Amino acid sequence: MTEHSPEAGETPERLRSLPSRLLALTAAQADRLVSAGLAAEDARKWHYAALVSLDESGPASQADLSRRTGIYRSDLVSVINELADQGHVERTPDPTDRRRNVITLTARGRKHLERLDEVLAEAQEELMGPLTVAERALLSSLLERLLGR
């Protein structure tokens, strides 16, 4: 069941002030902004996660990439297929174990990732626009604490 957004005055006070509800509504808004921005670039969140992991940590086996990103191995196969079809990653046999593949970010993939970073920065700016720089840093710090990081 999805929730529509009633006018602020229509929402009962106890609902308006529930932190869990506010977090959920904000997360949904963030997800819409990010997903729309990525879709405009023919990408999805999992594409971005895989590309970032390869950029920051280097080539990886599919199993390592799954662990790094939290993407289930069965789902990661289709993500890698899509990225390979677009020329953003290469899949080559692991020279130490021919049963495994090594996934490597291509130059084209790095350029695509740079564009996706711009798109996500724009989405973050739209989401966080009402907050000052200090408030943004505080919110991020508080959210990290809530997540136990």
Q: pLDDT (tens digit, 9 = 90+) per residue, 27-36?
A: 999 999 999 9
Residue 105 lies in a domain: yes
In a domain, 54, yes or no: yes
Whether 6 has a pLDDT exceeding 80, the answer reads no
Does 8 map to a domain?
no
Structural domain harbouring 131:
42-146
Residues 73-87 pLDDT 10s: 999 999 999 999 999
pLDDT score recorded for residue 97: 84
With respect to residue 109, please indicate whether it lies within any of the assigned structural domains.
yes
pLDDT tens column, 43-67: 999 999 999 999 999 999 999 999 9
Work out how many domains the chain is built from and give that number. Answer: 1
Helix 73-85, helix 62-69: angle, nearest 10: 110
| CATH number of the domain within which 108 lies | 1.10.10.10
Query: Rounded mean pLDDT of the chain?
Result: 92
Q: How confident is the model at residue 8 (pLDDT cuts 50, 70, 90)?
A: low
Q: What is d(CA 89, CA 105) in angstroms, rounded to the nearest whole number?
A: 5
Is residue 20, in this structure, part of any structural domain at all? no
Q: What φ, ψ does residue 100 adopt, rounded to 5°?
A: -105, 155
DSSP of 48-77: HHHHHHHHHH--EEHHHHHHHHT--HHHHH
> Is 116 a member of any domain?
yes
Specify the pLDDT at position 15.
87
Please choose, from the candidates 25, 27, 51, 20, the residue with its C-alpha nearest in 3D space to the C-alpha of residue 119: 51
Per-residue model confidence (pLDDT) at position 1: 47
pLDDT at 146: 93
